[in-house]
């Protein structure tokens, strides 16, 4: 197995110029507005929806105090909510369907590295959370994972 090429990894372009500009804009303007929103429990109540929409994020999403890394890579359906302290590390696209709950401190991670390549290039596989899914508290959903629609439980049977 070849050894890790740290120099090549550091020199590799991991983001396009457009992505870099959006990250700087989000870091300087969007994220501070998001974090300093006057609503303690619903941070997107007033200022934050405009900040997220301005950065290409989802309009009308309910994200009380979630950390959204790249809002333009996030799609959230109707009647869905992301709990307090959840981390949406969405280097790649993250799609959250309708009527979904992502509970507090859950971690959705749409980024990794190709460990088989000595340069360890950045990979951005998407995450898809289907309709009517509950991602429980402190759960981890990794890169390239699709979580299917919930199947309702009745005593004695699943379907």
Per-residue pLDDT tens digits of the chain, which is 159 residues long: 567 677 777 777 777 888 888 878 877 777 666 666 544 333 443 334 444 555 555 554 566 678 888 888 999 888 888 988 899 999 999 999 988 999 999 999 999 999 888 888 899 999 999 998 999 999 999 999 999 876 665 666 555
Assigned domain for 143 exists? yes
Number of domain units in the chain: 1
Residue 20's H or E segment, with its range, is helix 17-25
In this structure, is residue 157 part of a structural domain?
no
- What residue numbers bound the domain in which 141 lies? 15-148
Judge whether 46 lies within some domain.
Answer: yes
Structure tokens at 39: 């609503």
Q: pTM of the prediction?
A: 0.67
Has residue 5 been placed in a domain?
no
Please indicate, yes or no, if residue 154 is contained in any of the structural domains: no
Q: What angle do CA 147, 150, 152 make, to 5 degrees?
A: 160
């Amino acid at each position: 197995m070849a050894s890790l090429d740290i120099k090549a990894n550091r020199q590799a372009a991991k983001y396009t110029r457009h992505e870099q500009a959006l990250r700087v804009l989000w870091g300087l303007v969007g994220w501070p507005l998001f974090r300093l929103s006057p609503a303690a429990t619903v941070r997107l109540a007033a200022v934050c929806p405009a900040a997220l929409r301005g950065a290409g994020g989802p309009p009308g999403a309910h994200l009380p105090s979630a950390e959204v890394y790249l809002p333009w890579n996030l799609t959230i359906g109707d009647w869905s909510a992301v709990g307090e302290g959840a981390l949406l590390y969405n280097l790649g696209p993250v799609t959250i369907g309708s009527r979904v709950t992502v509970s507090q401190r859950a971690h959705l991670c749409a980024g990794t590295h190709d460990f088989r390549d000595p340069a360890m290039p950045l990979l951005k596989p998407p995450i898809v959370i289907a309709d009517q899914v509950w991602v429980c508290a402190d759960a981890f959903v990794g890169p390239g994972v699709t979580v299917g629609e919930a199947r309702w439980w009745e005593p004695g049977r699943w379907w």
